[in-house]
Amino acid sequence: LLGDNRIFPRMREQLTDAAAPMEQRQQSLAILVRGRDALAVASFQAVLDEPKLRGAAIRALAAFDDPRTSEMLVGRYAKLTADEQRDAIGTLVSRPKSALALLDAMEDQRIPRTDLHAYHVRQLLEFKTPELENRIREVWGEIRATSADKQSKIAEWKTRLTEPKLTGADTSNGRRVFAKTCAACHTLFGEGGKVGPDITGSNRANLDYLLENILDPSAVLGKDYRMSIFVMDDGRVISGLVVKETDSAFTVRTINDTVVVAKREIDEQQLSPLSLMPEGQLDQLPAAEAVDLIAYLRSPTQVALKGPRAPIDPRTKRVPGAIEGESLKIIGKTGGSARSQPMGNFPKDAWSGADHLWWTGAKPGEQLTLEIPVAEAGEYKIEVVMTKARDYGIVQLTFDGEPLGPPVDLYNDPDVITTGVLDFPPRLLKAGNHKLSVEIVGANPRAVKAYMFGLDYVRLQP
């Protein structure tokens, strides 16, 4: 069918027929795209105001060198959805002429400069067009080649970040690392700060793109993300992004605050050629956390948040000082059955001792009570690691009758993982036996309602 060009005129007619069923119009568009119909440009342009066809039509127009496309996309840009705007930018940067039209629109503020990511700019540099490179510098920001030492560093990290390692990484822990190291400045999946670019729509799946921007953040730097440095008349130095300027003051967004800087109090002001993002961030992380962070940054969707990775000793395969869940004495159970379950077949996480205590067959309201031995009286922080899966419940933990934090949702799909280390505030414990109780209080709406529970270990930290 696709090899027969005679079908194209009928597909073009059906695509632009407002009376035709939407499913048929979408199918016609797909056939024209797959068949690379050279005469389809006008038809694609004609459906740019049809919401159910617009995204695919915008993407399809990248294959055609037609000056009307730039005008149409720029003119509609403000009314497009966020996904459609990303598609429009992708189409506009696909050719030098349309890229110049995009930069013109950014210069007169019809399109925000921040919508053009460093990835797009690196792509535009591949055209090797002096006029385009000059316009990028004038309108968007600084660009320079990545130095030899940075290229060497990128190559070194690529040997550490192999596909098998990234595939087996703990993306939930990567989200925690992102929250700790990146979220003060960057937004991802709607969470984080506004000092740096929102990276949700960037080319995060591309490892080269990630490493180039993390290891050499100042190589391609938009004007909206260049750091302004103010030396004040009282000796202070304030650095951040200028988000607003009036006749009398600058509003500056720093990493942890937004401040108003009075112009009369400024002794010196300069625009740094460097990014606010520091170099060497990956080098500061433990090797496993760096892998987890990169894997999370490449994730197409948000992942569940979890606690820090359990400190499993690589020699013993156990957490030092942990009381293994499967070794605990069961002193009470109002329903279901509890037993040891080997966890070595679940590759997305690691369990201390490669095992956990598995409670199945319970219903909401039922409890499992375990005996926790304490050798010496003292103040202890309680650490707990549990299992998460698509058929696990929501549980409330109590210690000697007092709740350990709020209920914990143990749902995760599709992978079986741990909660990571959940820390609970220190408490005074007497020597002897204490009670840890687990109550099933419900299940996530998306979970299979089996209400399972798994306990990897409990650790009492002085």
- Binned at pLDDT 50, 70 and 90, residue 119 comes out as low
Map residue 83 onto helix, strand or coil.
helix
Of the candidates 380, 324, 155, 209, the residue with the CA atom closest to the CA atom of residue 197: 209
pLDDT at 451: 98
Q: Which amino acid, 408?
A: V
Q: CA gyration radius for the chain?
A: 28
Look at 195 and 262; give whichever has higher pLDDT. Answer: 262
pLDDT at 437: 98
> How far apart (Å, rounded) are the C-alpha atoms in residues 186 and 338?
44
pLDDT at 197 exceeding the cut of 70: yes
pLDDT above 70 covers a percentage of the chain that reads 95
Q: Phi/psi at 449 (nearest 5 deg)?
A: -80, 65
pLDDT at 349 exceeding the cut of 60: yes
pLDDT at 285: 86
- Binned at pLDDT 50, 70 and 90, residue 221 comes out as low
pLDDT at 409: 92
Out of 87-101, 190-204, 442-456, the most confident range is 442-456
Of the candidates 312, 306, 340, 314, the residue with the CA atom closest to the CA atom of residue 412: 306
Global pTM reads 0.53
pLDDT above 90 covers a percentage of the chain that reads 58
Contact (Cβ atoms closer than 8 angstroms) between residue 354 and residue 431: no
For residues 35-61, average pLDDT: 94
DSSP code per residue over 155-190: HHHHHHS-HHHHHTS-HHHHHHHHHHHTTTT-EETT
Which CA distances in Å does 58 have to 71, 162, 286, 351? 12, 34, 43, 47
- Binned at pLDDT 50, 70 and 90, residue 100 comes out as very high
pLDDT at 145: 65
pLDDT at 28: 96
Candidate from 201-205, 208-212, 328-332 with smallest mean pLDDT: 201-205
How many CA atoms, within 13 angstroms, populate the side-chain half-sphere of residue 262? 4
Supply 257's token pair.
């605050």
pLDDT at 4: 63
**Any idea which residue has 């109590």 for tokens?**
398
pLDDT at 217: 77
pLDDT at 193: 79
How many CA atoms, within 13 angstroms, populate the side-chain half-sphere of residue 145? 5
pLDDT in tens, 253-270: 876 668 899 999 999 998
Beta bridge partners of 367: 439
